[in-house]
């Protein structure tokens, strides 16, 4: 807690790098759920209150972006600016939270450079702004493939003394060198690559484990994504292989033997907007070598899929700050991310997270 902050007024002060579709859903979600009752189950939420923090206790301090459509605007306005195209499910009042000019580095891929015009002017003093706004937690929603930009921002975050949530598939929390830097700075770190609330990877893993536990031998399986958001085309353009590696390793961990597995290949269909179609194929054998095949399609809206998980993650990271934990906080990593420092089953991840909260 910051000096002068009492337990009845605890806040989770969050800065966002990359004011895209996922940031839009997160900011809208705070407004949408701010009066959620802690006494009943609320559709769309896993935890209304987590460790003493209600959803309305999450407040924003700073937005960081490079797009001319967003820089200089209030965060409440910038979340609806092009090329954002996710659902608008509520109006967000003015937050008095500025979106400032960030550092580009490799943050613009071939496709994004055609649809984004960089705002003029120099990069803002990120360290000073994070300190001045008393930011607790910084969340990175940088475009996939922004490896150099991610590392640059991590250095600023370390200097500013903030905790870090790496929602991208760049390796930070799962890299021992970065984990040691956060440990030395006595700051918590979580990542990498945020899971979805109803994600294709979790569904794929659950199906494979269910079948394997019931004696089915899986021979081949794949999961392919088609989406219309900027993340889909950026993944296809720059990090298809990295994304495939992360998702394939995660899926493979759900069965105790080797099988032919491909997960996470992506294609882009612009008219899908922020929707994502996931296709699953599973082939195997069961009793007396009888063949079994599953072929299914699963559709979601991409950005809201990150909201509930991130609600939990940022509050859990604030708890880690309260507990003075440092380095990669494994129980949060395995609960909320596809590529944590250690790979565990979904059941074990849930147990670890509950133990951390207790």
Query: What is the maximum alpha-carbon separation in the chain?
Result: 69
User: Residues 29, 96: one domain?
Assistant: yes
Q: Does 134 reside within a domain?
A: yes
pLDDT in tens, 159-169: 999 999 999 98
Q: Is pLDDT above 80 for 112?
A: no
User: Residues 77, 145: one domain?
Assistant: yes
Per-residue pLDDT band at 6 (split at 50, 70, 90): very low
User: Residues 208, 269: one domain?
Assistant: yes
Query: What confidence score (pLDDT) does residue 242 get?
Result: 65
Query: What confidence score (pLDDT) does residue 8 get?
Result: 41
Q: Is pLDDT above 70 for 110?
A: no
Query: What confidence score (pLDDT) does residue 5 get?
Result: 47
Query: What confidence score (pLDDT) does residue 33 get?
Result: 96
Q: Edge-to-edge, what's the strand order for the sheet holding 58-65?
A: 99-101, 58-65, 12-17, 137-140, 163-166, 188-190, 327-328
User: Residues 86, 29: one domain?
Assistant: yes
User: Residues 50, 93: one domain?
Assistant: yes
pLDDT in tens, 255-289: 989 999 988 777 888 888 888 899 999 999 999 99
Give the residue ranges of DSSP H helices in the chain: 21-33, 75-78, 112-115, 126-132, 147-160, 176-184, 200-213, 230-234, 240-252, 307-322, 330-336, 346-357
Residue of 19 and 273 predicted with greater confidence: 19
User: Residues 35, 184: one domain?
Assistant: yes
Q: What is the pTM of this model?
A: 0.86
User: Residues 271, 294: one domain?
Assistant: yes
Residue at a domain's end among 257, 272, 302:
302
Report the chain's mean pLDDT, rounded to a whole number: 90
Among 203, 165, 191, 235, which Cα is nearest to 305's?
Answer: 203
Query: What confidence score (pLDDT) does residue 236 get?
Result: 60
Q: Assign residue 239 the CATH number of its domain.
A: 3.30.360.10
CA–CA gap between residue 137 and residue 182 (Å, rounded): 13
Q: Does 2 reside within a domain?
A: no
Query: What confidence score (pLDDT) does residue 4 get?
Result: 44
Cβ neighbourhood burial of 170 (10 Å; 0-12, 13-18, 19+): buried
Residue at a domain's end among 277, 302, 327:
302
CA–CA gap between residue 296 and residue 281 (Å, rounded): 7
Residue at a domain's end among 280, 302, 324:
302
Domain count, the chain: 2
Q: Does 296 reside within a domain?
A: yes
Which segments of 92-150 are extended strands (E)? Answer: 99-101, 137-140
DSSP 332-348: HHHHHBSS-SS---HHH
CB 150 within 8 A of CB 171: no
Q: Is the dihedral of CA 158, 249, 168, 344 positive or negative?
A: negative
The boundaries of the domain holding residue 39 are 7-195+305-357
CA terminus-to-terminus distance, the chain: 19
Per-residue pLDDT band at 143 (split at 50, 70, 90): confident
Half-sphere exposure of 54 (CA within 13 A, CB side): 15
pLDDT over 70, % of the chain? 91
User: Residues 271, 317: one domain?
Assistant: no
User: Residues 54, 144: one domain?
Assistant: yes
User: Residues 189, 318: one domain?
Assistant: yes
Q: Does 129 reside within a domain?
A: yes
CA–CA gap between residue 235 and residue 116 (Å, rounded): 16
User: Residues 38, 109: one domain?
Assistant: yes
User: Residues 102, 177: one domain?
Assistant: yes
Query: What confidence score (pLDDT) does residue 3 get?
Result: 47
Q: Does 178 reside within a domain?
A: yes
Q: Is pLDDT above 90 for 71?
A: yes
Q: Is pLDDT above 70 for 234?
A: no
């Amino acid at each position: 807690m910051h000096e002068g902050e009492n337990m009845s007024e605890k806040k989770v002060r969050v800065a966002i790098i990359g004011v895209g579709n996922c940031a839009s859903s997160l900011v809208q979600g705070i407004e949408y759920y701010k009066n959620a009752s802690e006494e009943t189950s609320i559709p769309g939420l896993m935890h209304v209150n987590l460790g003493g923090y209600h959803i309305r206790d999450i407040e924003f301090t700073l937005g960081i972006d490079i797009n001319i459509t967003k820089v200089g605007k209030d965060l409440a306005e910038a979340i609806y600016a092009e090329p954002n195209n996710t659902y608008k499910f509520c109006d967000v009042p003015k937050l008095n939270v500025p979106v400032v000019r960030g550092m580009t580095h490799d943050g613009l891929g071939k496709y994004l450079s055609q649809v984004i015009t960089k705002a003029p002017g120099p990069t803002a003093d990120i360290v000073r702004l994070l300190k001045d706004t008393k930011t607790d937690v910084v969340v990175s929603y940088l475009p996939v493939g922004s490896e150099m930009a991610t590392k640059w921002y991590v250095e600023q975050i370390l200097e500013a003394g903030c905790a870090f949530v790496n929602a991208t598939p760049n390796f930070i929390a799962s890299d021992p060198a970065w984990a040691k830097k956060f440990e030395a700075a006595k700051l918590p770190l979580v990542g990498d690559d945020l899971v979805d609330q109803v994600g294709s990877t979790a569904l794929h893993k659950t199906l494979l484990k269910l079948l394997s536990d019931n004696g089915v031998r899986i021979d081949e399986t794949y999961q392919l994504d088609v989406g219309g958001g900027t993340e889909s085309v950026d993944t296809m353009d720059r990090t298809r292989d990295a994304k495939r590696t992360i998702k394939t390793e995660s899926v493979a961990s759900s069965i105790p033997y080797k099988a032919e597995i491909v997960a996470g290949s992506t294609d882009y269909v612009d008219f899908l907007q922020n929707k994502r179609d996931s296709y699953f194929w599973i082939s195997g054998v069961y009793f007396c070598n009888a063949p079994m095949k599953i072929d299914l399609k699963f559709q979601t809206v991409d950005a809201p899929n990150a909201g509930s998980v991130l609600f939990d993650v940022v509050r859990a990271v604030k708890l880690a700050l309260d507990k003075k934990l440092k380095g990669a906080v494994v129980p949060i990593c395995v609960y909320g991310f596809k590529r944590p420092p250690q790979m565990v089953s979904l059941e074990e991840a849930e147990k670890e997270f509950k133990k951390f909260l207790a």
